[in-house]
Structure 1
Amino acid sequence: MKKIADSIIIGIILLGLCSCTSVKSTDPTNSNQVISQADSQAEKIIKIGASSSTVTVLKLLAQAYQSQNKTVKIEFISNSQSEGAIAALKNDIIDIAGSSHQLKPEEDNGKIQYRELAKDLLLVATNNNVKGVTNLSTKQLKAIYKGDIKNWRELGGANADIVVLDRPEDESAKKLLRKYYLGEEKTTTKAVILSKEGELIETLQTTPNSIGTFSLASSLINQLPVNHLSLNGVVPKAQNFASGQYQMVRQIGIIWEKAPSAPTQGFIDFIFSKEGKKLLQNNGFAPAK
């Protein structure tokens, strides 16, 4: 009987210990500590929504910042247009939106803010198989996009049909191309319309005899094997923009909440620091003043 009693007592003690352990694991204070640690880690993730025209510059800055701040992770959520990135910011899906236009009154909910980051020169380029054509006048460029000039031979090149790679009319690259060179002339129906700048860049590299317009910085950063064309004798480079000779540039900016998280504010401070501006300048952008 004594052995049975001893066994019962031991069992009761073990059950008590298990109960204590169980209570400890669900202790509110301990749970809050775990949640607090999880929140702390989550706060170090910065989510960015970038239009196709702003993703290159923001990834360049993000890579440099993360190399110095190992505890910060920057994630990119793809958006094809600035409007989509701004909408994602207002719905708390991202922390920073990249935009190729200033914040419009109808986009401003009073809780977000815009600041220009840089000027991005737009480049007219050809596939690297196009030889003998290094400069185009406004008249010639307009004729190519209109479809009046169809063969590179008409411009001093080889006997080959020109393949025009174009962007939708509501994209910043096409708007600026029209503003400075094309005017309101209709684009040839044979043009290949590509919704994203990355698609145009890839297609230009793989399609012989093609021509297209995209970011000069993207070409320099990625060392793309394409031909950069002068326009009216002016080479597309930051120095010529600074002197007022080259005008086809788009404005790149970022939008973020007026009360950002500490990690987001840290990245924004880096973007507009001397180091950030130098990084932009070294990669073909003209930093905002």
Structure 2
Amino acid sequence: MKKFGILVIVFIVCLAFLGFSANADIETQKISLNGSTSMEKMINAIKEGIEENYPELSLEPQFTGSSAGIEAVLNGTADIGNSSRYLKDAEKEKGLTENIVAIDAIVIVTDTQNKVDNLTTQQLIDIYKGKIRNWKEVGGEDLPIVVIGRESGSGTRSAFEEILNIEEQCQYANEINETGPIIAKVQSIPGAIGYVSLDVIDETVKPLSIDGVQASEETIQNGQYSLQRPFVMATRGAISQQNENIQHLFQFIQSEDGQKIIRAVGLVPVVE
């Protein structure tokens, strides 16, 4: 009996050791991502959802801005660079591949007490260039417009300014480093205006229509809503050239479950 008991203990210890080894293997299969703060909600949702399909994978994201994420891929400190703008030709020439995984709308927001519901594209341009400085000039109350935007290097700022063709022309009162604080700043300042990703909109701010069109999945997909940009997961070389783990990540994103996640966080899947 004593020998049998010892054998049982040895067997249990072996099973525990094998389980530990398996877990150790899972923990070593990591994918590092860096980049856009606007993509944080989507990436975190994918990180959580992928565990059911590929439990051996562990995503390790950082959110330091689009340009920083692209640089991280180029210098080898990240596997994937998250960018909320198209890649520049110079970045592609360095070997980066532009993998568009979702389409996002850049939504113009004001404080909830603002009486204005809609701006034309030209009015929006003139506000950010400093030509329109008071809400009464666009049908609102006699209240100064406080222009808020993202910091230099932000993918959201780059996309916003490129879409409107106003690069290096904006007259910002405040430049904010992250998406969340933009919402907080607009919420707290009467007369403030800012731009954020569609998926972070909540009841604390008021989204404006542009040229009479509200941002939605339908208006983004059919092109009616003009302020839209890609969510890019850049890799060094094509997806087919990446290791098996990275290929599995993109396979999950393109799967039915992955597309559900993209829709659930307020983004529009890319139509193949």
TM-score w.r.t. length of structure 2: 0.76
1:265 is matched with which residue? 247
* Structure 1 residue 36: Cα displacement: 7.0
Q: Flag structure 2 segments of 5+ consecutive residues without an equivalent.
A: 1-17
TM-superposition CA deviations, 1:20-61 (whole Å, max 9, x none): xxxxxxxxxxxxx9x976861442333221222332321222
Q: Kindly name which structure, 1 or 2, has the bigger radius of gyration based on alpha carbons.
A: 1
2:175 is matched with which residue? 193
Distance in 1, matches of 2:165 and 2:98, equals 30
Aligned AA (1:118):
A
> Structure 1 residues 47 and 160, CA, compared in 2 at 3 Å: closer, same or farther?
same
Distance in 2, matches of 1:182 and 1:106, equals 21
1:252 is matched with which residue? 231
**3-state SS of paired residue (1:53):** helix
Do structure 1's residue 96 and structure 2's residue 80 form an aligned pair? yes
Question: Which of 121, 126, 133 is the matching residue for 1:150?
Answer: 133
Distance in 2, matches of 1:88 and 1:175, equals 18
Count residues with an aligned counterpart.
Answer: 249
* Structure 1 residue 239: Cα displacement: 0.8
Aligned AA (1:61):
I
Aligned AA (1:160):
L
Do structure 1's residue 213 and structure 2's residue 195 form an aligned pair? yes
CA contact (8 A) 2:129 2:166 kept: no
CA contact (8 A) 2:109 2:206 kept: yes
2:63 is matched with which residue? 78
2:11 is matched with which residue? none
CA contact (8 A) 2:65 2:153 kept: no
**3-state SS of paired residue (1:251):** strand
2:38 is matched with which residue? 53
CA contact (8 A) 2:149 2:176 kept: yes
CA contact (8 A) 1:146 1:185 kept: no
**3-state SS of paired residue (1:266):** helix
The correspondence of residues 1-289 of structure 1 with structure 2, limited to 5 A, is 40-66=25-51, 72-82=57-67, 84-99=68-83, 100-102=85-87, 104=89, 106=91, 113-130=97-114, 132-168=115-151, 170-181=153-164, 183=166, 186-188=169-171, 191-219=173-201, 223-256=202-235, 258-262=241-245, 264-288=246-270, 289=272
Distance in 1, matches of 2:257 and 2:196, equals 26
Distance in 2, matches of 1:167 and 1:212, equals 9
CA contact (8 A) 2:150 2:175 kept: yes
**3-state SS of paired residue (2:38):** coil
Distance in 2, matches of 1:247 and 1:108, equals 28
